[in-house]
Amino acid sequence: MVAFDVEQARRETRGCVEHIHFNNAGASLPPMPVANALYAYLREEEEHGGYEVMARRAAELDHFYTAAAKLLNCSADEIAFADSATRAWNAAFYAFDFQPGDRILASSAEYGSSLVALLHQAKRLGVEISWVPDDPTGQIDINSLESQIDRRVKLICLTQVPSGGGLINPAAEVGKVAKTAGIPYLLDACQALGQMPVDVDHLGCDLLCGTGRKFLRGPRGTGLLYVRKKLLEKLEPNQLNHYAAPLLSAKSYQLRSDAKRFECWERSYAAQLALGVAIDYALAWGLEAISERVRFLATSLRQKLAGIDGVTLTDQGLEHCAIVTFFSAQLPAKQLQQQLALRQINTSTVPFSANPVSSEKLHHPALLRASLHYYNTVEEVECFVAELKQLL
Ligand SMILES: Cc1ncc(COP(=O)(O)O)c(C=O)c1O
């Protein structure tokens, strides 16, 4: 394993002094450079005015796009800033001009909010949502996906890492199927960004959404949308405004040619700048190194949990990430979470809305979620397990 300077990571993370933060799939602790950039920008706005700061910090604000492009291996004009992954996913999804009878293929890992949007369009437009079955390990079944392709399929949706478990879906395999069939591919990489390398060319996705506050360690209220240039030209946002489509006269506008056609002018510029800093920070650690470190910690936690009587791990798929979910025969997840919180250990439970399709299929009781990041330590894992043993 590549040496990882955990001490430095912890020195630069104020929040890890008082807590064991195992809620990184909810929102991770921002590192000092990110938090400081955010506070400084807000202070400057307070002292000089929002528009004035925006003008003089234009280059740094613009840096967000270059940083995101580097993170995803695309070009800066294929990136739009969004205030959440939901907003980014919806912007992409609702831009498709679906017709009655069109089919959308989706995975059982889709996030609750995306499911609502899918059901909404099915109801409104008469499109058909086809759920691609999982293979026996619980990840998307590539053969079934291939066999479901026909002329009516207009979009393939996949969540790479669902929020309710360790599953990493074979997103690049899905990309190959989508490319061969010439069908647009929308990837929800919300839990993957900042946790592992996410390269849009390798994954073969045409659209990708992500959020800032999770494994990227950015501020809340931030996210991004990637749109492949070839598709961008064809995709008209469902809603326009005078930033997405500048006015040419009182009678006409021109849609922007870049992904900013999915943006609004007003947003938290402080948060946009800080998200750029968070991306730089993640890139400086290296996504391969981060992925290796979080998997090492999560594997150690899984092994220890497997040795506790009455604890059932619920990971699906072949490859497992930093999100560890389980239930206990002794205590419901909500009580466990509350008890752990009293001991300064942050975890979360998995709501039904996180993965509704797979939750209905798997029938698990409520799950406790311990999601780890690289600034967590082996000692924290041991402490977590010891506290858990006392509670059970
Ligand atoms: C897999 C996945 N997709 C999408 C989202 C939505 O992200 P946001 O809350 O930033 O809209 C989440 C949030 O938990 C998620 O886990």
CATH of the domain at 317: 3.90.1150.10
Determine whether the shortest distance from the Cβ of 159 to ligand 1 is under 6 A: yes
Q: Are residues 275 and 350 in the same domain?
A: no
Q: Does 359 or 255 have the greater pLDDT score?
A: 255
Condensed to tens digits (0 to 9), the pLDDT of residues 101-148 reads 999 999 999 999 999 999 999 999 999 999 999 999 999 999 999 999
Residue 227 lies in a domain: yes
Q: Are residues 229 and 84 in the same domain?
A: yes
Residue 15 lies in a domain: yes
Residue 138 lies in a domain: yes
Are 75 and 69 a contacting pair, CB within 8 Å? Answer: yes
Residue 324 lies in a domain: yes
Range of the domain at 322: 6-29+286-391
Residue 132 lies in a domain: yes
Determine whether the shortest distance from the Cβ of 85 to ligand 1 is under 6 A: yes
Average pLDDT, the chain: 97
Q: Are residues 153 and 204 in the same domain?
A: yes
Give the helix ranges, DSSP H, for the chain. Answer: 6-11, 32-48, 50-56, 58-72, 85-93, 112-125, 142-148, 171-181, 200-203, 229-232, 269-285, 287-306, 333-342, 356-362, 378-391
Question: Phi/psi at 157 (nearest 5 deg)?
Answer: -115, 135
Identify which of 365, 351, 316, 320 has the alpha carbon closest to the alpha carbon of residue 109: 316
- For ligand 1, the distance from its centroid to the CA atom of residue 317, given in whole angstroms, is 20
The residue from 243, 259, 284 where one domain ends is 284
Residue 243: how many CB atoms within 10 A of its CB? 14
Nearest CA to ligand 1 atom 16: 163
pLDDT class of 359 with cuts at 50, 70, 90: confident
The SS3 call for residue 154 is: strand
CATH of residue 66: 3.40.640.10
Are 24 and 347 a contacting pair, CB within 8 Å? Answer: no
User: In the prediction, which pLDDT does 21 show?
Assistant: 98
Q: Are residues 275 and 344 in the same domain?
A: no
Residue 162 lies in a domain: yes
Condensed to tens digits (0 to 9), the pLDDT of residues 263-286 reads 999 999 999 999 999 999 999 999
The residue from 284, 309, 333 where one domain ends is 284
Q: Are residues 81 and 167 in the same domain?
A: yes
Q: Are residues 89 and 25 in the same domain?
A: no
Q: Are residues 132 and 206 in the same domain?
A: yes
14: left (phi over 0), alpha (psi -120 to 50) or beta: alpha
Sign of CA dihedral 173, 278, 286, 165: negative
Please state the atom number of ligand 1 nearest to the C-alpha of residue 211: 10
Q: Are residues 217 and 317 in the same domain?
A: no
Q: Are residues 57 and 157 in the same domain?
A: yes
Q: Are residues 278 and 290 in the same domain?
A: no
Pocket test for ligand 1, best of 90, 107, 113 (most atoms within 8 A of CB): 113
Condensed to tens digits (0 to 9), the pLDDT of residues 193-241 reads 999 999 999 999 999 999 999 999 999 999 999 999 999 999 999 999 9
List C-alpha distances in Å: 325 to 19, 160, 253, 347, 353. Answer: 20, 17, 49, 10, 15
Q: Are residues 337 and 268 in the same domain?
A: no
- Written as six digits, the tokens of 332 are 């419901």
Q: Are residues 88 and 157 in the same domain?
A: yes
Residue type, 390: Q
End-to-end CA distance of the chain: 33
Condensed to tens digits (0 to 9), the pLDDT of residues 145-161 reads 999 999 999 999 999 99
Residue 156 lies in a domain: yes
Determine whether the shortest distance from the Cβ of 84 to ligand 1 is under 6 A: yes
pLDDT class of 2 with cuts at 50, 70, 90: low
Structurally, the chain folds into a number of domains equal to 2
Residue 1 lies in a domain: no
The residue from 284, 300, 321 where one domain ends is 284
Are 271 and 216 a contacting pair, CB within 8 Å? Answer: no
Determine whether the shortest distance from the Cβ of 111 to ligand 1 is under 6 A: yes
pTM recorded for the entire structure: 0.97
Determine whether the shortest distance from the Cβ of 91 to ligand 1 is under 6 A: no
Are 88 and 80 a contacting pair, CB within 8 Å? Answer: yes
